[in-house]
Structure 1
Amino acid sequence: MNAREVLANYYVYANEGDWARWCELFAEDMVMDEQLAGRIEGRARLRAVVAGLGELYAAFENLPLHFLVDGEEAAVVSHISARSSAGRPIEADVMNYFRILDGRITYMANFHDTQPFQVLSRAHGGDGR
């Protein structure tokens, strides 16, 4: 798979809630700097992190708006429209940076406003701060 195909599948699998196939897009020794979950190292750890997503979201859609691919590096601007498990809306613009080697994501970082996601912590006993 080339980088553009990896990225296209990244969003298709996420929007289908197919987290098993989504995780397979990452290298075994991947590293992710995720704004909400922190630093995630290794595909096994990534699987554990995404295993709980179904409990957090009643609906989740991450629509890519712009792809920029330059060799093994890529950036994607997207928009997330979601609902928490309590039914609260989440709307956020996102920028993701990727390094893709040999058809697998080796590094990813995301950047977005974290405020819309505070409804997730409130829905699970936190105070949302």
Structure 2
Amino acid sequence: MSTSAAEDVIVAYFEAINGEDWAALQQVYATDAVVSPPGGEPIRGRPAIVAWYQAVFRRFPDHTDTPVRTIVAADGGAAAVEIEFTGRTTAGRQFAVTAVDIFDIADGRITAMRSWLDTAAFAAATQDVTP
């Protein structure tokens, strides 16, 4: 896969999560994809992955994941993205957290995604979140 094709997948991913377009999000992931969230167990398969995103973003009525920097491997098979995750909690509290997502990409789809962020800072910023 080319680096530009990998970049297209990453752009489609961020458009889908920021727009809460669950059908589009499902399409950017491979059928047997795995998502490894910070401090959580891996989530396997497109339906479970989409359900996880829906549950996460339900807690943040306003949210934006803004890619700050994207680094794509020369073969297009992996990418690292630095992200500013900003928004408002269900209690109305504004927050901003920096995260890094690492993507494995094959055949135009994300096969794995691992996310890292300062979980203590995230917990402090979103302490008033209700499910």
Between the aligned residues of both structures, percent identity stands at: 27
State the Cα distance separating 1:36 from its structure 2 match. Answer: 5.3
| TM-fit CA distance, 1:68 | 0.8
The offset of 1:13, in angstroms, is 1.6
- 8 Å CA contact 2:84–2:97 kept in 1: the answer is yes
Q: Which residue of 1 aligns with 2:95?
A: 90
Indicate conservation of the 8 Å contact 2:93/2:128, yes or no: no
Identify which of 7, 25, 29 aligns with 2:10: 7
Given candidates 84, 97, 100, the residue that maps to 1:79 is: 84
What is the identity, as a one-letter code, of the residue corresponding to 1:45?
A: A
Secondary structure of the 1:12 match is helix
Query: TM-score scaled by structure 1?
Result: 0.85
Deviation at residue 54 of structure 1 after TM alignment = 4.5
Q: Which runs of 5+ in 1 are unaligned?
A: none
- Report which structure shows greater RCO (CA 8 Å, sep ≥6): 2
TM-aligned CA distance change 1:45 to 1:100, over 3 Å: same
Shift in CA distance, 123/66, structure 1 to aligned 2, threshold 3 Å: closer
1:62 aligns with 2:65: yes
Q: Take 2:126 and 2:40, find their aligned partners in 1: how far apart are those partners? A: 12
Q: 1:123 is paired with a residue of what secondary structure?
A: coil
Corresponding letter in the other structure for 1:117: F
Cα contact 1:99–1:108 (8 A) shared by 2: yes
Q: Report the RMSD for the aligned CA atoms in angstroms.
A: 2.0
Letter aligned with residue 116 of structure 2: F
What is the letter of the counterpart of residue 98 of structure 1? F
| Number of positions where the alignment pairs a residue of Structure 1 with one of Structure 2 | 125
Unaligned stretches of 5+ residues in structure 2: none
Aligned counterpart, 1:30: 33
2:66 touches 2:83 (CA, 8 Å); kept in 1? yes
Per-residue deviation at 1:32? 1.1
The normalised TM-score by structure 2 is 0.84
**3-state SS of paired residue (1:67):** strand
Inter-partner Cα distance in structure 2 for 1:99 and 1:120: 29
Task: Tell me the SS of whatever aligns to 1:51.
Answer: helix
